[in-house]
Structure 1
Amino acid sequence: MEKALAALGEVDGPLSVEVIHKLVDAEDYDTPMGVAELADLLDVSPHTLRYYERIGLITVARDSHGARSYDADAVRRLVFLTRMRLSGMAIRDLQHYVELVDQGEITVPERLEMLLEHRDTIRRQIAELTLSLAATEYKISTYGGNTQP
């Protein structure tokens, strides 16, 4: 997450689809990655990546030694999945979403609906967190603290 936030810090203006492209394309994915390297890139544990594979969210190739080898497509999918989990999307919803993706273009309307609903949930969470931040800063100021970063 720190790498993703650092990349966002370099963006001037409102967030856009291009920001996500920047996150996905931030590293060179021509060479397959191992589980530890990808876990570090995504700021998740290797256990999380293995769990996502075990529950069917991702299919991972193996190298000649049997170690996981994540190609560019797997990395892109995992960037999406980890951001959705961070935003609170349930595992069962991610599993359903991946099933829809695997079924092809015919499921685009249902995928779109899922994402629109999730976006509304995230926006509600942001509003609630903004209110919580304001209440926290109010209390800090009542104790004489500085509310500026």
Structure 2
Amino acid sequence: MNIGEVAAKAGLPAKTIRYYEEIGLVTPARDSNGYRAFRSTDVHKLAFLARARALGFSIEDCRMLLALYEDDTRASGDVKRVAREHLARIDEKIAQLGAMRDTLGDLVEACHGDDRPDCPILKDLAEGA
């Protein structure tokens, strides 16, 4: 398969597939003319990577998950550890976003939003600078 066909099947842009090849996540075969010749296993790996990235896993996490996926002697505990660490990072981001939302919500409520120049939003931003 060529890169266009693989991109359609894996749900990834060709540019992303080239990047994944560049960093060693996939290694398609090469035809005698030098063009990439993707196999069905490459499509499967790329779809795996697309799903992992959609779940927010980093490239390095994806590299580790792919290695674990391809290792028949893997321990599921290793996979769970990677996922648990990622989940903890997501929870931390959610907490940070919640705090940001609360602060901004308070500032929006405190602002009269009228023709007066006084604005608690701008005041808070200036104090933090």
Is 1:48–2:16 an aligned residue pair?
yes
The equivalent of 2:85 in structure 1 is 117
Q: 1:56 to 1:108 in 2, by over 3 A?
A: farther
Alpha-carbon distance in structure 1 between the residues aligned to 2:73 and 2:82: 15
TM-score scaled by structure 1? Answer: 0.52
Match of 2:48 among 66, 71, 77: 77
1:58/1:108 CA distance change after superposition, 3 Å: farther
Tell me, in whole angstroms, the C-alpha distance in 2 between the residues paired with 1:132 and 1:144. 20
Q: TM-score, normalised by structure 2?
A: 0.59
Match of 2:5 in 1: 33
Q: C-alpha deviations, 1:32-79, integer Å up to 9, x for none? A: 8344x579x55xx6433311122232355779x835758562453132
Find the aligned partners of 1:62 and 1:34 in 2 and give their Cα distance: 14
Equivalent of residue 140 in structure 1, options 104, 108, 115: 108
Deviation track 1:16-44 (CA, whole Å, cap 9, x = no partner) reads xxxxxxxxxxxxxxxx8344x579x55xx
Pairwise CA RMSD of aligned residues? 3.4
Consecutive unaligned residues of structure 2, counting only runs of 5 or more, are 114-129
Aligned CA distance change for structure 1 residues 46 and 132 (closer, same or farther; 3 Å): farther
Q: Calculate percent identity across the aligned residue pairs.
A: 24
Tell me the amino acid that sits aligned with residue 50 of structure 2: V
Deviation string, structure 1 residues 88-139 (Cα, Å, up to 9, x no partner): x443332222212111252322011110111111111111111111211221
The residue matched to 1:104 in structure 2 has which SS? Answer: coil
Hey, what does 2:94 align to over in structure 1?
Answer: 126
Q: Counterpart of 1:4?
A: none
Relative to 1, partners in 2 of residues 1:113 and 1:57: Cα closer, same or farther, differing over 3 Å?
same
**Over alpha carbons, which structure has the higher Rg?**
2
State the partner residue of 1:93.
Answer: 61
Corresponding residue pairs, total: 107
For structure 1, the residue ranges without an aligned partner over 5 or more in a row are 1-31
Question: In the superposition, relative to structure 1, how do residues 46 and 136 fare at CA in structure 2: closer, same or farther (>3 Å)?
Answer: farther
CA distance in 1, matches of 2:98, 2:28: 39
Asked if structure 1 preserves the Cα contact closer than 8 Å seen for 2:30 and 2:37, the reply is yes
Which secondary structure state, in structure 1, belongs to the residue aligned with residue 5 of structure 2? coil
